Structure 1
Amino acid sequence: MSHVSWGVLGAAQFARNFMAPALHLAPGGKLAALATRSADKADGFRAIAPDLTVHDSYDALLADPAIDAVYIPLPNTMHVDWTLKTLAAGKHVLTEKPISMQAEEIDQLIAARDDSGLLAAEAYMIVHHPQWQFARDQIKAGAIGDLVHVSGMFCFDNPDPDNIRNKANTGGGALRDIGCYVMGGARFATGKEPGEIRSAIRWENGYDVFSQIDAQFPGFTYHAVVSTRLSPAQEMVFYGRSGTLRLTTPFNAQVFGEAKVEVQRGGAETQVHRFGGARQYELQVAAFNASVLTGAAYPCPLEFSKGTQAAIDQVFANARTLD
Structure 2
Amino acid sequence: MTATVRWGVLGAAAIATGRTMPAMREAPSATLVALASRDPAKGRRVAQEFAIPRVHATYEALLADPEVDAVYVPLPNQLHFEWSLRALQAGKHVLCEKPLCISSEQVQRLCAARDRSGRHIEEAFAFRNHPQWAKLAGIIAAGTIGDVRAVHATLAKQFFDPADVRNQLEAGGGALYDLGSYAISACNLVFGRPPARVVAALERDPAFGIDRLSSALLDYGDRHAAFTVGTQAGSDAWGTHQQFSVLGSRGWLRMNFPFAHARPTACQIEVGDAGSVGAFPSATFSFEPANHYLLQVERFSRRLLGDAVPGWPIEDALDTMRTIEALFASARQGAWQDVASCTALPASAPAT
Q: CA distance change for structure 1 residues 87 and 180 in 2, over 3 Å: closer, same or farther?
A: same
Deviation of residue 84 (structure 1)? 1.0
Residue 263 of structure 2 is aligned with which of 222, 241, 255? 255
Contact persistence 2:43–2:55 (CA under 8 A): no
188-197 or 242-251, which moves further after superposition?
188-197
Residue equivalent to 2:4: 3
Write the deviation string for residues 143-172 of structure 1: whole angstroms up to 9, x where unpaired.
111222211000000111111211112111
7-16 or 197-206, which moves further after superposition?
197-206
Contact persistence 1:198–1:319 (CA under 8 A): yes
Residue identity matched to 1:161: P
Contact persistence 2:247–2:253 (CA under 8 A): yes
Q: TM-score when scaled to structure 2? A: 0.86
Give the secondary-structure state (helix, strand or coil) at the position aligned to 2:108: helix
Residue equivalent to 2:114: 113
Deviation of residue 228 (structure 1)? 0.5
Contact persistence 2:4–2:31 (CA under 8 A): yes
Write the deviation string for residues 289-321 of structure 1: whole angstroms up to 9, x where unpaired.
112111646521111111111111111111158
Residue equivalent to 2:180: 179
Residue equivalent to 2:213: 210
Mapped to 2, the partners of 1:166 and 1:159 lie a distance apart of 7
Residue equivalent to 2:41: 39
Mapped to 1, the partners of 2:181 and 2:102 lie a distance apart of 12
Residue equivalent to 2:134: 133
Contact persistence 1:261–1:273 (CA under 8 A): yes
Contact persistence 2:126–2:260 (CA under 8 A): no
Q: Give the CA RMSD over aligned residues.
A: 1.9
34-43 or 257-266, which moves further after superposition?
34-43
Deviation of residue 252 (structure 1)? 2.5
37-46 or 222-231, which moves further after superposition?
37-46
> What are the within-5 Å matches in structure 2 for residues 270-289 of structure 1?
270-289=282-301
Deviation of residue 218 (structure 1)? 3.3
Q: CA distance change for structure 1 residues 224 and 256 in 2, over 3 Å: closer, same or farther?
A: farther
66-75 or 210-219, which moves further after superposition?
210-219
Residue equivalent to 1:317: 329
Mapped to 2, the partners of 1:256 and 1:227 lie a distance apart of 23
Give the secondary-structure state (helix, strand or coil) at the position aligned to 1:33: strand
Residue equivalent to 1:264: 272
Residue identity matched to 1:293: L
> What are the within-5 Å matches in structure 2 for residues 1-323 of structure 1?
1=1, 2-36=3-37, 37-40=39-42, 42-47=44-49, 49-204=50-205, 205-232=208-235, 233-253=241-261, 255=263, 257-268=265-276, 269-294=281-306, 296=308, 298-320=310-332
Deviation of residue 255 (structure 1)? 3.2
Mapped to 2, the partners of 1:218 and 1:26 lie a distance apart of 41
Mapped to 2, the partners of 1:45 and 1:14 lie a distance apart of 15
Structure 1 unmatched ranges of 5 or more: none
Q: CA distance change for structure 1 residues 297 and 111 in 2, over 3 Å: closer, same or farther?
A: farther
Mapped to 1, the partners of 2:166 and 2:124 lie a distance apart of 17
Q: CA distance change for structure 1 residues 298 and 38 in 2, over 3 Å: closer, same or farther?
A: farther
Q: CA distance change for structure 1 residues 59 and 106 in 2, over 3 Å: closer, same or farther?
A: same
Q: TM-score when scaled to structure 1? A: 0.93
Give the secondary-structure state (helix, strand or coil) at the position aligned to 1:154: strand
Residue equivalent to 2:340: none
Give the secondary-structure state (helix, strand or coil) at the position aligned to 1:115: helix
Deviation of residue 24 (structure 1)? 2.0
Give the secondary-structure state (helix, strand or coil) at the position aligned to 2:100: coil
Q: CA distance change for structure 1 residues 290 and 256 in 2, over 3 Å: closer, same or farther?
A: closer
255-264 or 135-144, which moves further after superposition?
255-264
Mapped to 1, the partners of 2:141 and 2:114 lie a distance apart of 31
Mapped to 2, the partners of 1:271 and 1:202 lie a distance apart of 38
Q: Percent identical across equivalent pairs?
A: 36
Aligned length: 321
Residue identity matched to 1:15: A
Give the secondary-structure state (helix, strand or coil) at the position aligned to 1:206: coil
Give the secondary-structure state (helix, strand or coil) at the position aligned to 2:153: strand
